[in-house]
Amino acid sequence: MVYVTRREVFSASHRLHNENLSDAENEAIFDKCNNYYGHGHNYVLEVVVAGEVDPETGYVIDLKKLKNIIKENVIRKVDHKHLNYDVDFMKNVIPTAENIAIGIWNQLADKIPSGKLYSVKLFETENNYVEYKGA
């Protein structure tokens, strides 16, 4: 098994807020991330595809194809957008790094032409990242 990674970056804003909680509770849980008008991050996304090497091409997956799949299904939808309002696959979830990683996984899982989606890693800051590997 070989693991192939494509890295992409995007900039987006979000607000961490749970409509079912009071303003005080939201502030207690999310602190600065509850800021009314949101705030931004420069996200770094790493998508890993795992598979056998195709003896004909020497590839698990053509990285040009993987790049285009990520751009079309994820980056185009999230870059310079507000994750609470603008992004179809983020409707009705709190846009934490955890939920963004799950949303991105769901966008990509059935679109990988060779090998299988292995993980989605999302860096929200230099020091904080989450990784999702499916259910």
33 is catalytic: yes
Contact string 45-74 vs Ni ion (x = CB under 5 A): ------------------------------
Residue located via tokens 């310079």: 80
| Whole-number Å distance between alpha carbons of 29 and 117 | 33
Task: Count interface residues toward Ni ion (CB under 5 A).
Answer: 1
Name the catalytic one among 27, 33, 82, 98: 33
Secondary-structure percent of the chain, ordered helix, strand, coil, rounded to 5: 35, 30, 35
Helix (H) / strand (E) element for 47: namely: strand 39-51
Q: Which is nearer to Ni ion, 5 or 128 (CB)?
A: 128
2-14 β-sheet, strand order: 81-82, 2-14, 39-51, 116-123, 129-132
Q: Which of residues 25-44 bind Ni ion (CB under 5 A)?
A: 33
Nearest residue to Ni ion, scored by beta-carbon proximity: 33
Name the catalytic one among 8, 17, 124, 131: 124
80 is catalytic: yes
Residue 81 CB, shortest distance to Ni ion, in Å, is 14
- Give the residues lining the site for Ni ion (CB under 5 A): 33
